[in-house]
Chains A and B, each alone.
Chain A
Amino acid sequence: EAAVTQSPRNKVTVTGGNVTLSCRQTNSHNYMYWYRQDTGHGLRLIHYSYGAGNLQIGDVPDGYKATRTTQEDFFLLLELASPSQTSLYFCASSERDRVSNERLFFGHGTKLSVL
């Protein structure tokens, strides 16, 4: 069964803290994405990748790094967390070239609070 698993589900840190959000997909998808979701905004793209070792900058990348270590694993790094990064973070994976309702999958989200 296709799946995108995020960890942790919840994280609290302090300003200046170092945080790593993890995402693993078992869909054999090439594309993986990190989004943040804030009240009043749609999901906004932070970084994405189309394969192991690849990284593309999204729409709101400032303050974030990302690394795609394998096809399955995509990490989002906040090296100096700030309160403005308090948000709900979603990871997603997708497959190009096939159009189906099951082509795009999201994780359950990671709620990050920066105090």
Chain B
Amino acid sequence: KTQVEQSPQSLVVRQGENCVLQCNYSVTPDNHLRWFKQDTGKGLVSLTVLVDQKDKTSNGRYSATLDKDAKHSTLHITATLLDDTATYICVVESNYNVLYFGSGTKLTVEP
């Protein structure tokens, strides 16, 4: 059973538009939640890490929320750029450094 579900699977936006990516999970315990950006065929680059029961982070045009009660996280990208085209992966970290990965949301930013 998939423990981390991301939606949508893919998303196309126009440059300058905002977008929201969703992550729902069933992992217990859910110590931390991370969002990664993965360019095609490349490694994963960390965008943000969320820790608290109800947490919010901001990193430039990226902002994220976490609600551990709902086991739900969102990643907001503001004023998208062409370079934002990538797959965004939600990762839930449980005990003993065990990581649970979502399949990712493939974002395409068009001119």
Q: Give residues in A with beta carbon < 8 Å to B.
A: 4, 31, 33, 35, 40-45, 48, 50, 88, 90, 92, 94, 96, 99-109, 111
Q: Decide if A111 touches B46 in the complex (CB within 8 Å).
A: no
Chain A residues whose CB sits within 8 angstroms of the CB of B34 once the complex forms: 104
Q: Decide if A106 touches B43 in the complex (CB within 8 Å).
A: yes
Size of the B side of the interface (Cβ < 8 Å), in residues, is 24
Instruction: Point out which of B41, B44, B45, B103 has the most chain A C-beta atoms below 10 A from its C-beta.
Output: B44
Chain B 73-111 interface mask (CB, 8 Å, partner A; 1/0): 000000000000000010000000111111110000000
Q: Is the interface of B mostly helix, strand, loop or mixed?
A: strand
10 A-B pairs within 8 Å (CB atoms) are namely A40-B103, A42-B4, A42-B89, A43-B99, A99-B49, A103-B49, A104-B46, A105-B46, A108-B43, A109-B41
With an 8 A cutoff between CB atoms, is B51 at the interface?
A: yes
Beyond A40-B103, A96-B97, A102-B46, list 11 extra A-B contacts (CB 8 Å): A35-B101, A42-B4, A99-B49, A101-B48, A104-B34, A104-B99, A106-B45, A107-B43, A108-B42, A109-B43, A111-B41
